[in-house]
Amino acid sequence: MTDDPALAEAVQAALPAAVAGTRHRERVTTALEGPQSAIVLVDDLHQAVRFSNAYGPEHLEVQVADPQAVIPALESAGAIFVGDHTPVSLGDYIAGSNHVLPTGGQARFASGLGAYTFLRPQQIVEYDRDALAEVAAHVTALSDAEQLPAHGDAVRARFL
């Protein structure tokens, strides 16, 4: 993704030689021909950030003059690699970021695998009689709207 048409054209021109020179050229060709691959020309960095957040890339390399001005707005990427000396392969092998990242745009709502993935938080809800009375009408209205009367009855029964 770039706001520079000349850069987009240069990348397009360089791809055939890069693909031909790689060991797994068939896999690379298939990947580049898939719907997940494109050279995207944007008007400016703001549009680039919006596009990236909507797309939710697994890996995102940020190659801009002032990355610190862009990074806070990037909310949906599995891993973000900043600057021209930070290739994705660092994350795969040595930098300490996780190699198991959300694919297929899932970075819009999920993060990479981490120790927190294996934690099982508990949700504990506790109301007293007054607190329940304060919200009872809302609960019963929603249960009636969803046609789940037993949910409303569970609230009403506590006030019989």
Question: d(Cα 126, Cα 74) in Å, to the nearest integer?
Answer: 37
Residue of 24, 26, 46, 59 with catalytic role: 59
- Of 144, 148, 65, 74, nearest to 108 by C-alpha is 74
Active-site residue 59, yes or no?
yes
Q: Which two tokens stand for residue 125?
A: 């809800």
Going by the DSSP 8-state scheme, the letter that residue 121 receives in this structure is: P
Among candidate residues 9, 33, 46, 58, the one labeled active-site is: 58
The verdict on whether 58 is a catalytic residue reads yes
CA-CA distance, 48 to 54, in Å (whole number)?
10
Give the integer Cα–Cα distance in Å for 40 and 16.
18
Name the residues annotated as catalytic. Answer: 58-59
